[in-house]
Chains A and B, each alone.
Chain A
Amino acid sequence: MSKFSKKKKDMPAINTASLPDIVFMLLFFFMVATTMRETDPLVKADIPNGTEVKKLKKKKLIRTIYVGQARDKKYGKGDKIQLNDKISSVKEIKNFIFNSIDGLDDKSDANAMTTLIKADKKASVGTISDIKRELRDINALKITYATKTGNVMDNVK
């Protein structure tokens, strides 16, 4: 009709040819920057704050003990200790440590291994000292209390 009549024009398709490249780049970034999740936490461990924190570099030389209230109600209340993937008793800690040393490629690293205690800030010191007594018994002396960086006064509230 007139020259103002609208021509039906298709939207140009967005070129997605480079999308796989972008996604692969992201993928490789995540593969390099992260580590595999080894355990699922079965206990609630809201770790306290600290200011004098040190980063633990070598993942292979860390074994983690979680302390806190169990997420699953069937374990009841009170502090529970989680070793690997299950709720355990204090008595099993020695075995857990020996197993972690067995799993090392280089046995000479045994003394360099750190036990990371990830405990809830409402957990009781008694549970922690029970763990420490077991660790002392078998000479696993390096420990780290897991903390976030933050103001220590928040722990007291």
Chain B
Amino acid sequence: MARRQAPEINAGSMADIAFLLLIFFLVTTTMDVDMGISRRLPEKTPPNQKPPVLKMKNVLEIAVNKNNQILVEGKDYVKVDQIKQIAIDFIDNGGGVGKTVDGVPGKPCDWCQGKKDPASSDHPDKAIIALESDRSTDYGVYVSIQNELVAAYAELRDRLAKKEYGKTYKELLKMQESGDTKSESLAAKIKNIKKKYPEIISEKEKQ
């Protein structure tokens, strides 16, 4: 008895089906990776906590008004792209000794390369950048300033890491992310750099 051959399935419309699915996925999905400037908000403070006493020379005041003008230390109007250098000069000044920790008096900043101007900040761990903004400042300007301040710290940290470990801070972070084998010493290195140039940015809103 003759066996009947199975009829061939018509695959002509396969392409149409696949195209349809493809277009569906193109429309409903996104490819963009979210990115931005990461910050950490300060923790809630108890209501009756007294603010710490600070020397004025250890505070770099940056104020933005509602016309998006940026005022540094209450006297100079500056442009956004000048802020980074101003911040670096201020943080890296190293004019005095560091914070007293557990009764041990601070040491001078021996990794700073600043001018050691006695009228500017004492030590990176004392240097505070106070950013004051108005409610009607443009968000774009605000983010730009934040960006410049982060860039200033990044540059100082990169420089220090390059000097001490031969790699920039960014490279160290990347190595940590990719799960390097010597992760313990790597974590210690990163911690050390972070400790030597801590990011201290305080924010205030003008009422």
Contact = CB atoms under 8 A, between A and B. Distances in A.
B39 A145 contact: yes
A26 B140 contact: no
Contact of B138 (A34, A125, A145): A125
A98 B35 CA distance: 23
Contacts of B142: 125, 128
B36 A56 contact: yes
B149 to A, nearest CB: 9
Which of A16, A27, A36, A114: most chain B Cβ within 10 A?
A: A27
Contacts of B143: 48, 50, 121, 145, 147, 155
A20 B11 contact: yes
B37 A54 contact: yes
B36 A36 contact: no
B35 A119 contact: no
A125 B136 contact: yes
B193 interface: no
Interface string B131-145: 001111111111110
Nearest to A140: B41
Contacts of B134: 125-126
B38 A36 contact: no
Interface stretch (A80-88, A89-97, A129-137): A129-137
Interface in A140-155: 141-149, 152-153, 155
Interface of A: 16-17, 19-20, 23-24, 26-27, 30-31, 33-37, 47-56, 59, 62, 64, 67, 114, 116-117, 119-129, 132, 135-137, 139, 141-149, 152-153, 155-156
Interface of B: 11, 14-15, 17-19, 21-22, 25-26, 28-31, 33-44, 64, 68, 79-81, 133-144, 146-148, 150-151, 154, 205
